[in-house]
Structure 1
Amino acid sequence: MSPSEPRDPIDSIDTQILELLRARCRAMAQNASAQNNSDWASTLAGIDDLVDQFNQPQASSEGLGRETQRDILRHVASACWRATRPGTHAFLGPPDSYSHLAALAYFGEAANLLPVQSIGAVFDAVARGDCAGGIVPIENSTDGRVVDTFGRLSKGEVSITGEVQLAIHHQLLAMSDLQSITEVHSKPQAISQCRDWLATHLPKAKLTECSSTAAAAKLASTQPGIAAIASEAAGRRHGLRVVGANIEDNRDNVTRFAVLGHDQPAPTGTDKTTLLFQVAHQPGALADVMGIFKQHKLNLTWIESFPQPGTQNEYFFVVEFPGHCQDVAVANAIEDLKTATHHTDVLGSYRRAARAES
């Protein structure tokens, strides 16, 4: 048997897979060179639709499960995308932070990801074109909105092109056992989300805030008696033991991340739109605007207000609702809003995300 001949049927199948991967990269390169309108959000939507069609009730149940199929295709797409469309995606670092896990969940493990030191730095990298995209936290189910993200979104430098709903599971990580822990380090939000557990199991431990969960894990790996609240991935990287698993007080603790970019994702049929607007500071102004959403039968699923920088008693409002800005009802509502508000900005229309585990 010559060295080029496959040794068994599995080798033959693997050879076919490699040939198909090469063909996929060529096809993606052709799309990129032709300035095809395909974007990463559409790629993810196409994979999900393909897996659903492949796993119709009448289809054979043998082989890999639906989620495994989706994960494999997403990884293949991520690798081909990186090979044919060079570019980095910024996230709030360091590696193994929850923002990093969200970036991996969205862009894939093959993506070229760049850790930066602040939410503002993510926006800057995308706005300047240094990065093709980025990801920032926008809301936590326990702690609410992320103010730094809202402040930058109001400037209109970039668009929201997608979202990630990441279930946040905090682990207590240390080199020593639970009884030997005297200090617990983590970022303020993580400590806040675990206060009841800490009060019950480590009532005498000193709680110390730091810049990130991943930085806390790195510190805990250098000093016995110090524990970190961080992700399981951070514990693996730094060789730490999980001395308290899933210590978050809210078992449904979810952080929503906004994916940043400049593209306008095409409608998928399961989209949502995020709008920012400012109304006159006078009685009934906000109620009049809310009437526009009712008139066009748009169901608001989220509304937040935050102060407009440099003003007194002036607020921006951010709302979300199902639908895409290219839908007739949404487009008509936006036109009416522009006449009823000081200004209205579409922050993005993008596919609604399913929940991912950290």
Structure 2
Amino acid sequence: MVRQGRIRKEIDEVDHEIARLLTLRARYAREMGAYKRKEGIAQYDPAREKVVIARAQKLCPGLPPSAVRAIFGEIISACLSLEEPILVGYLGPETSFSDVACRMLFGQSVHGVPLANFGMIFDAVEKGECQYGVVPVENCTEGPVNQVLDRLIQTNLRVCNRLILPVSQTCMANCEPKQIKRVYSHPQALAQCRHWIATHMPHAKLYPTDSTAAGALMALKYKNACAIGTTRAAQVHGFSTVIEGVNDENGNATRFLVIGNHAAQPTGNDVASLILYIQNKPQALVKVLRSLKQNMTSIQSRPVKGHPWEYVFCIDVEGHHNDPDFQETLVRLEKVCVRVKVLGSYPA
């Protein structure tokens, strides 16, 4: 017991020092916020965050890297809120996967703004009602989120960060699975679980909702109904029946993007998102691909509104658009494309 008391005393002393240093860091954060506002510099800097967390992981070999990331991510989030409260729009209500992604990207101190659809997120950022928005752009099993791609093509906003969020779908209800007659969720979530639903509740009717969180709220209103969504939603709403991992494919994940009015600074390990308008003629896409010297990690096509059977291509390429080599690639692309639009670059 004597030794236990001594160790606890030492831990208390360390905690006091941590608290003192956190208070000091908060003071410096306020000073940095005032400087950024004066100079017109964006408060949110994902490239800087990546450097800070990577350094902290090297300095804390006694903790798992994921734990260091979580701890310093919350420190950064809290200090960023002191610099300037940041409003971030996401597909609500709370407990949606977009809510989870928003908190992972910006921390628990973020001022999240739940919005009813993707268009409202883009509108809020474009009008200055939110500084940033978090939107899903692609699921690894069900493919692109076309509504988001279409707005990315149209908008003047920039992409400044991304998150690949592991997605484990949860079935939640207040009845036994065999009693379920209605299934509520976002169309993407329903598609990710179509085989599981067909096997375990083949006679249930599917009801698409604007988000998985909205589906959870609908399931609360009806007897013999369930929702597919986040485990957090099941916990928050207190569903009595909770079945985790009902998605058909293991390794299910969704790629989220942060949209705002600026791109991120280079880190040396970045990804650039481009929109390419190409000529409607043979070999046009081949010429585009031959112009790329960087590795292309994603390509999607979308129809051009008002021009039937014409398409634009949304691609992700390794590198930062301000890198000299990448600038040369952009020059080559501009020679073979009708138009090249840089959505932004962000940490990989």
Task: Check whether TM > 0.5.
Answer: yes
Q: Deviations over 1:101-131 (max 9, x none)?
A: 1111111111111011111111111112211
What is the rounded CA distance, in whole Å, between the counterparts of 1:149 and 1:182 in structure 2? 31
Residue 178 of structure 1 corresponds to which residue in structure 2? 177
2:309 paired with 1:307: no
The answer to which of 111-120 and 220-229 deviates more is 220-229
Matched-pair contact (CA < 8 Å) for 2:185–2:227? yes
Residue 27 of structure 1 corresponds to which residue in structure 2? 28
Residue 323 of structure 1 corresponds to which residue in structure 2? 319
What is the rounded CA distance, in whole Å, between the counterparts of 1:233 and 1:210 in structure 2? 18
Matched-pair contact (CA < 8 Å) for 1:275–1:318? yes
Residue 235 of structure 2 corresponds to which residue in structure 1? 236
Residue 334 of structure 2 corresponds to which residue in structure 1? 338
Matched-pair contact (CA < 8 Å) for 1:177–1:243? no
Q: Secondary structure at the match of 2:154?
A: coil
Counterparts of 1:209-224 in structure 2, within 5 Å, are 209-224=208-223
Provide TM-score, normalisation by structure 1.
0.89
Matched-pair contact (CA < 8 Å) for 2:138–2:144? yes
What is the rounded CA distance, in whole Å, between the counterparts of 2:20 and 2:235 in structure 1? 35
Partner AA of 2:315 in structure 1: V
Q: Deviations over 1:293-323 (max 9, x none)?
A: 1xxx212111111111111222111111111
Partner AA of 1:71 in structure 2: A
What is the rounded CA distance, in whole Å, between the counterparts of 1:154 and 1:341 in structure 2? 15
Q: Deviations over 1:214-258 (max 9, x none)?
A: 122122234331111111000111111343220000112111111
Partner AA of 1:43 in structure 2: R
Partner AA of 1:109 in structure 2: Q
Partner AA of 1:348 in structure 2: G
Residue 17 of structure 1 corresponds to which residue in structure 2? 18
What is the rounded CA distance, in whole Å, between the counterparts of 1:243 and 1:79 in structure 2? 33
2:64 paired with 1:65: yes
Shift of residue 29, structure 1, vs aligned partner: 2.1
Residue 283 of structure 1 corresponds to which residue in structure 2? 282
The answer to which of 117-126 and 22-31 deviates more is 22-31
2:48 paired with 1:43: yes
Q: How many residues align?
A: 337
Matched-pair contact (CA < 8 Å) for 1:47–1:74? no
Partner AA of 2:87 in structure 1: T
2:76 paired with 1:77: yes
What is the rounded CA distance, in whole Å, between the counterparts of 1:326 and 1:85 in structure 2? 27
Report percent identity of matched pairs: 32
What is the rounded CA distance, in whole Å, between the counterparts of 2:329 and 2:236 in structure 1? 49
- Distance 1:254-1:21 versus aligned 2 partners, 3 A rule: same
Matched-pair contact (CA < 8 Å) for 1:47–1:70? no
Q: Secondary structure at the match of 1:301?
A: strand
What is the rounded CA distance, in whole Å, between the counterparts of 1:204 and 1:303 in structure 2? 38
Q: Which runs of 5+ in 1 are unaligned?
A: 1-6, 353-358
Q: Secondary structure at the match of 2:218?
A: helix
Residue 160 of structure 1 corresponds to which residue in structure 2? 159
Matched-pair contact (CA < 8 Å) for 2:134–2:258? yes
Shift of residue 9, structure 1, vs aligned partner: 4.5
Counterparts of 1:343-354 in structure 2, within 5 Å, are 343-352=339-348
Q: Secondary structure at the match of 2:287?
A: helix
Matched-pair contact (CA < 8 Å) for 2:132–2:258? yes
Residue 93 of structure 1 corresponds to which residue in structure 2? 92
Q: Deviations over 1:133-182 (max 9, x none)?
A: 11101011122111111111112420000101111111110112222222
The answer to which of 67-76 and 15-24 deviates more is 15-24
The answer to which of 168-177 and 11-20 deviates more is 11-20
Partner AA of 1:44 in structure 2: E
Shift of residue 11, structure 1, vs aligned partner: 4.2
What is the rounded CA distance, in whole Å, between the counterparts of 1:242 and 1:168 in structure 2? 20
Counterparts of 1:255-274 in structure 2, within 5 Å, are 255-274=254-273
The answer to which of 209-218 and 88-97 deviates more is 209-218
Residue 5 of structure 2 corresponds to which residue in structure 1? none
Matched-pair contact (CA < 8 Å) for 2:91–2:211? no
Matched-pair contact (CA < 8 Å) for 2:57–2:68? no
Q: Which runs of 5+ in 2 are unaligned?
A: 1-7
What is the rounded CA distance, in whole Å, between the counterparts of 2:72 and 2:159 in structure 1? 24
What is the rounded CA distance, in whole Å, between the counterparts of 1:196 and 1:84 in structure 2? 48
Counterparts of 1:178-217 in structure 2, within 5 Å, are 178-217=177-216
Q: Secondary structure at the match of 2:89?
A: strand
Partner AA of 1:268 in structure 2: T
What is the rounded CA distance, in whole Å, between the counterparts of 2:66 and 2:242 in structure 1? 30
Partner AA of 2:117 in structure 1: S
Q: Deviations over 1:23-69 (max 9, x none)?
A: 112212222222275643023202331133214xxx5x3xx332112
Q: Secondary structure at the match of 1:34?
A: helix
